Structure 1
């Protein structure tokens, strides 16, 4: 027989504090009366928690709100967003993008730093200096948490980055350099997983607790969120759908190469080749921006005897093949198309994929275009870092 345990006074105070802090974070400045109405707590309890949170420096009075009644105006209480600061990285083979943000997730400063030719021995130090200079330029002297989104597998047990391809040496060196920053927590996450978090919290899947983000860019990947939780798998490899064996490729993938897998159908080079086969211009370089351009050109070339429709139909067919393989295993009910290709294709491409997927799978699946934008990885990193900061400062479980 299990006996329910009554919360201690200190536990109850911590729960009430977290509730009030999250409301101030989500809704902005509130009066004590508004906090009472939103939390259902008593007047003395709200007064006590506001006093306690002001003493800790997490909440401050920021103004007054006029009331249609006699007496003094009501004080407005707000989260002190400068109480802690965070940073987020989107790490790619050709450079990094970074932002510095406050506790509320508002961007204070940003920087982009290209890395050419695979980088050099000072690349990691140069990136860290850029981070610190960017932070100081925004008046930030200490970073509580840095979240890093990078390609590759992040081992859930060790937190180490492992490559399924060839990652530049400076990726690992950057993580080592960041972890040497005093008093700063460093969180490493796969880049597509971060984009999935962004779509879940602020993007196309805000109303979904179970969905799969298919990232379509230079390569392909997926973020799997089931019952509100990001799933990583035993080795951190959940979502490595670039290796998925599918019909239509030249061969089969191998442990060392995804060329024969789903990547061979919908990687950027394959999309550019498909576009040229349909009479659409596409840069032979075959990078993500070239594939994105081909999709946008196709959208402008829809209509009778125009090449855009057949190309988009063929592309949707390819995407649906991979999506069907994922859906019959996970049954997510919703697939979000992200990355450069998903963003460029928008609702038109998503609709075509959904219709073809309905023919391939007996499981009803909605397909949506991602809305977190081109900065989805950075947005997810900011959200991840912010969650970590709040767990520390708010005492969240």
Structure 2
């Protein structure tokens, strides 16, 4: 719920808020309108939020003083042509940083305060563990730092591994495709220690992106499945991301097969696996699909994936599934999964291919960092990221 909704619906806590809290709520409501609608007059903002004009004028002075907004011009209003001063978000107030760390892939994206992309760098490497990915990420962040002069407000890190939501550290699991741990991501990435930092699983970030700018913007419940070097699922239930008690919700790669081994171990040791048996060889999958017909190895691969996905869907009943990641862009994989999933699901399941492809975790992390930066000095906390009561991400592509 946005601050403006809180004012209109009377859902601010029953206890009388302190003056500072009211000011923060008003400022957040003011900014909500600018992020959503662009340049607006004080009168327009007062009408949109339901907050009095004098209170909105006081908020404008605070936001102008802090540098978060700018006066950008005037517009003629009313029968006599009186002009109203327009306010807009100051894109140079600061920037946010999203970082992706995966097996064989590292990327960073920097957004200004309005949400426009200032810098983006990525690299495909032979990194098989997190410390190696950290080294590449530091280099990519340094390149962006040379291009961006505004202060860093917040950062979000996407890691291809389960993350403990309490400590924001990697949970070590057997058969994980991406190994290693980092006790302090801010220090490891040389991010300013005063900047708030969020760390989460790559598939959780992809799920957030799918709900904001992907195929599930109108869905309160869906299952997101990421197919890459590893496989995982994100659970978006009742309008928010479900991480679980220990951050392992949706780890379908660790479901047990009839033989007792995990799905990820079975796939890693199959003809589509990498030499170390810990991940899926994307090139190998594509080469097998070049055969006509692809052969039993691909049938087994798709059967295993569909079986894991349907088991989760049977448990949580999401109604809709979005499939993303590098392998979702391979038509034979997508259609093979669709036939198997829709043919064996207990209840009706609508499967959609995500339009975000490989970049979903990066887009999700960038969104999370931007929301944290925007909420930094208002009423919200990092726990709000991933729910539907955050700012719209206008300008994020």
Indicate the residue corresponding to 2:221 in structure 1. Answer: 210
Whole-angstrom CA distance in 1 between matches of 2:252 and 2:244 = 13
Partner of 2:347: 363
Partner SS for 2:166: coil
Residue 243 of structure 1 is aligned with which of 234, 254, 259?
A: 254
Say which of 156, 164, 185 aligns to 1:155. Answer: 164
Paired residue secondary structure (1:37): helix
The correspondence of residues 93-104 of structure 1 with structure 2, limited to 5 A, is 93-104=103-114
Superposition map of 1:255-294 within 5 A: 258-260=264-266, 263=267, 269=272, 287-291=281-285
1:384 corresponds to which of 330, 349, 368: 368
Distance 1:370 1:17 in 2: 35
Alpha-carbon distance in structure 2 between the residues aligned to 1:171 and 1:291: 31
What is the correspondence of 1:188-227 to structure 2 with a 5 Å cutoff? 188-227=199-238
Question: Distance in 2 between the 1:336 and 1:51 partners?
Answer: 44
- Kept in 2: contact 1:213–1:222 (CA 8 A): yes
Task: Kindly report which structure 2 residues correspond to 1:1-397, keeping only aligned pairs within 5 A, or say none.
Answer: 4-67=14-77, 69-116=79-126, 124=134, 127-140=137-150, 142-164=151-173, 165=176, 167=178, 169=180, 176-178=187-189, 181-246=192-257, 251-253=259-261, 258-260=264-266, 263=267, 269=272, 287-291=281-285, 307=293, 318-345=304-331, 349=334, 353=337, 356-397=340-381
Number of matched pairs: 363
SS class of match (1:184): coil
Q: In structure 1, how many angstroms separate the alpha carbons of the residues matched to 2:319 and 2:268? A: 25
CA 1:122/1:67 → structure 2, altered by over 3 Å: closer, same or farther? same
Is contact 2:28-2:375 (8 Å) kept? no
Matched position secondary structure for 1:16: helix
Structure 1 length normalisation: TM-score? 0.78
**Is the 8 Å Cα contact of residues 147 and 186 (structure 1) preserved in structure 2?**
yes
1:278 corresponding residue in structure 2:
none
Match of 1:303 in 2: none
Instruction: Extract unaligned runs of 5+ from structure 1.
Output: 272-284, 299-305
Tell me the TM-score normalised to structure 2 length: 0.78
1:210 deviation in Å?
A: 1.6
Change in CA separation of 1:293 and 1:344 when aligned onto 2, cut-off 3 Å: farther
For the 8 Å contact 2:288–2:298, the answer to whether it is kept is no
Does the CA contact (< 8 Å) of 1:199 and 1:206 recur in 2?
A: yes
Please report the RMSD computed on the Cα atoms of aligned residues, expressed in angstroms.
3.7
Cα deviation 1:35-71 (Å, max 9, x = unaligned): 2332223332322222222122211111233447433
Q: Return closer, same or farther for 1:170/1:114 CA change in 2, 3 Å cut-off.
A: farther
Q: Counterpart of 1:144 in 2: which secondary structure? A: strand
- Runs of 5+ in structure 2 lacking a partner? 1-12, 382-397
CA separation of 1:235 and 1:376: change in aligned 2, threshold 3 A: same
**Is contact 2:206-2:361 (8 Å) kept?**
yes
Higher relative contact order (CA 8 A, sep 6+): 2
